[in-house]
Chain A
Amino acid sequence: MPRMNMLQAINNALDIAMAEDDKVLCFGEDVGVFGGVFRATSHLQEKYGRDRCFNTPLVEQGIIGFANGLAAQGSVPVAEIQFADYIFPAFDQIVNETAKFRYRSGDLFNVGGLTIRTPYGGGISGGHYHSQSPEAYFAHTPGLKVVVPRNPYQAKGLLLSAIRDPDPVLFFEPKRLYRAAVGEVPEEDYQLPIGEAEVTKEGSDVTVLGWGAQMEVIERAVELAEKEGVSCEVIDLRSILPWDEDTVVESVLKTGRLVITHEAPRTGGFAGEIAATIQERCFLYLESPIERVTGLDTPFPLTLEKEYLPDHLKIFEAIKASVAF
């Protein structure tokens, strides 16, 4: 099986989707000849022509408005927003239009073909306009699906699912791992389920939950905890919206403890939603308060990034606190 980094896996998924269906289009800022600032769309214009893979003017609200219309027409647009930090100019098109297209028209029209790809997250010395994790804003909007892969294998399988999903999908790519994460990725076409979490490691003392780039941080924390004799169950949520309540509930009923981590600021972060649901459904089984390990309630910093980030040591401490409560 070939080894790929996350960008190669994403590029490979796009290539497969475009080869299979000529209604699939890739566009965004710099995605044409240049192949995107991270090269996720490399060679696609060469292979599929300028009509199907092209640069747009620098206008996020235009990119998503255009993509909404294309998807309503029956095309399958994969729109790239260069950095998740720049998705906000398109916020209205996403939350008021994309999300409500099917509902408000009573299913006369829909934009289910739409996928919005965008790199998110910190750890790249990007400061606050190249490091944000805005998933929680979109998680508050019914009608969207929000997906975050953790490695190249997941990225390819989930992206192919996103492109073929009957609903619009926001696909947040952990850019810190674009080249850092390398792994075996089948060359053939495969899909991974959207809306299902994955238990990546079984354990009995505490459930540790995250998504995207936090998953490898969790792994390091869990290694430390296991050395101290704590058995951890690890869950990758994979889909933030809709999220897989049942898998998390089942795990917490077993372990009685939950630690949730994300890079985004704590207040209003998605960990809060998970914590509320879990206390509702698992109250009598909880052995300790649900722990959240998150970014601070500040804009994302530049120089003090390492201190700001919810790293493996902070998660390790949270696991210990949870178990020792």
Chain B
Amino acid sequence: MTTTHDVYAPSFMTGDEFHIPTFRLLQQDGTLFEGAEAPELDEDKALKIYRAMLITRVLDERMMAAQRQGRLSFYMQCTGEEAAVIGATAALDDADMIMAQYREQGALVYRGFSYDEFMNQLFGNELDYGKGRQMPIHYGSRKLHYMTISSPLATQIPQATGYAYGQKLAGEGHCTITFFGEGAASEGDFHAALNMASVHKVPVIFFCRNNGYAISTPSSEQFAADGIAPRAFGYRMHVIRVDGNDVLAVYRATQEARKLAVEMNQPVLIEAMTYRLAAHSSSDDPSGYRSRKEEEAWREKDPILRMQRWLIERGWWSEEREKELQDSLRREVLETMKRAEKRPPPPLESLVTDVYADVTPALQRQLDALKTHIRKHPDAYPKGARSLDPDVKAPGGEHKAGDEQGGA
């Protein structure tokens, strides 16, 4: 290690000298900034991105309403951050791995997770891939290369470094992207992940959704520096800050990041400046910690509206098509929800499977004891638990999703 400049008196630096610029292409009125160039994006792909943004918004609205009606135990919205998540996903290869935090359902929508797949997880029914074991929004899909969500914050970040290291050794030209909020970037896992990725030249994209709040804690109480981006300097990592409500800029930045990752084995940090328009979760009320005025200001930067105007400007979209799509979406989402709600919960056996590759003798004993107990008190347990046991004829009694789940 060599120092390029020596000084002979104390000379401290704070990094305030650096101001990381924000990459932008699209203005709120749907026109490009002067001198900005739109990424190469054909009509089909542009519409695929836009539809995914719209579907995510509608899905979030409907599911939030369902939560308020008591049909769902919990929900988290992507609202306001659709351009960041979906713009980034669209710039990747479909087989690149996504390791998300929890608010990135837009990525799944873009990759084709069906309404049924969403609803089955949200209601924790027998068709949920996660077998009803996690709270709503903990989606996962092997087929779509989307790692199952885990509640603890930031744990997926070093895992993404490890996953991508494996991809590098496999030599198949894939990378991993990991999404997290600016709050999660305070966790030790974030620093561990960036350091290991830069030391070992791992093809991973760290995508920070700087959405202003970690539950109620504003970013000003989360970090003292100029956002998350400058941290990359400490790890000698490529970094870019992008307007997270500008889908074209996010798409373009992620395209370039992917090139650095896959072709050069360089990890990249992207900080997308955006805003969590909705509450943190269905259990949160942002009116307690931020002003309506602040929210309104961000509502005017709505990423969906911005892209819609751009599409209309290009003649690829119209208000009629918008209305038609929204109506059919709302209808489909509702129909799927009704279907998922009626499905029974996972079988009782699923309590003890997948803890290990095989059910251990101790777990088998515990399951047998539980069955014997339920047989003695058949009316005290939900129908689903009893329906599996051939010895028990279960009368009536609907299982409600989220019986055992408290909101977090």
Contacts and interface: CB of A to CB of B under 8 A. Distances in A.
- The interface centre, meaning the residue of A66, A72, A166 with most chain B CB atoms within 10 A of its CB, is A66
Contact of B189 (A61, A71, A100, A166): A61
B39 interface: no
Given A57-B199, A108-B129, A75 B193 contact: no
A67 B361 contact: no
A104 B155 contact: no
A142 B160 CA distance: 24
Contact of B162 (A66, A92, A96, A245): A66
B354 interface: yes
- The interface centre, meaning the residue of B164, B166, B176, B193 with most chain A CB atoms within 10 A of its CB, is B166
A195 B176 CA distance: 35
Contact of B147 (A56, A72, A74, A106): A72
28 contacts: A54-B200, A56-B196, A59-B191, A59-B196, A61-B192, A65-B161, A65-B189, A65-B193, A66-B162, A68-B158, A68-B159, A68-B162, A69-B159, A69-B162, A69-B166, A72-B147, A72-B159, A89-B188, A93-B189, A97-B159, A103-B355, A104-B148, A108-B129, A109-B148, A145-B356, A166-B356, A167-B357, A242-B361
A100 B159 contact: no
A70 B354 contact: no
The range of chain A's interface size is 35 or more
A67 B362 CA distance: 28
A290 to B, nearest CB: 19
The 3 closest A-B pairs by CB, nearest first: A65-B158, A69-B162, A62-B192
B140 interface: yes
Given A104-B150, A106-B131, A108-B129, A74 B140 contact: no
A250 to B, nearest CB: 13
A305 B163 CA distance: 42
Nearest to A65: B158
Nearest to B166: A73
Interface in A61-98: 61-62, 64-75, 77, 89, 92-93, 96-97
A246 B364 CA distance: 13
A188 interface: no
B190 to A, nearest CB: 10
B180 interface: no
B133 A104 contact: yes
A176 interface: no
A317 to B, nearest CB: 32
B231 to A, nearest CB: 15
A156 to B, nearest CB: 23
B78 interface: no
A103 B195 CA distance: 29
A102 interface: yes
A75 B195 CA distance: 21
A34 B147 CA distance: 35
Interface in B159-179: 159-167, 169-170, 176
Contacts of B161: 62, 65-66, 69
Contacts of B129: 105-106, 108
A112 B357 contact: yes
A63 to B, nearest CB: 8
A51 interface: yes
Interface string B148-159: 101010010111
Given A57-B196, A75-B166, A245-B361, A69 B160 contact: yes
Contact of B150 (A52, A62, A100, A107): A100
Interface string A17-56: 0000000010000000000000000000000000110101
Nearest to A166: B357
A143 B192 contact: no
B130 interface: yes
A51 B355 contact: no
B360 interface: yes
B138 to A, nearest CB: 7
A99 to B, nearest CB: 9
B360 to A, nearest CB: 4
B31 interface: no
B198 to A, nearest CB: 10
A145 to B, nearest CB: 8
A106 B130 contact: yes
B166 A65 contact: no
Interface string A235-249: 000000010011000
Given A62-B158, A62-B196, A69-B158, 12 more contacts: A57-B192, A61-B189, A65-B193, A69-B160, A70-B165, A74-B166, A92-B155, A104-B150, A108-B142, A108-B148, A109-B142, A143-B355
B134 interface: yes
A67 B360 CA distance: 25
B349 to A, nearest CB: 13
A105 B169 CA distance: 25
A66 B200 CA distance: 11
Interface in B208-247: none
B320 to A, nearest CB: 40
A195 B166 CA distance: 29
B128 interface: yes
A143 B358 CA distance: 11
A253 to B, nearest CB: 17
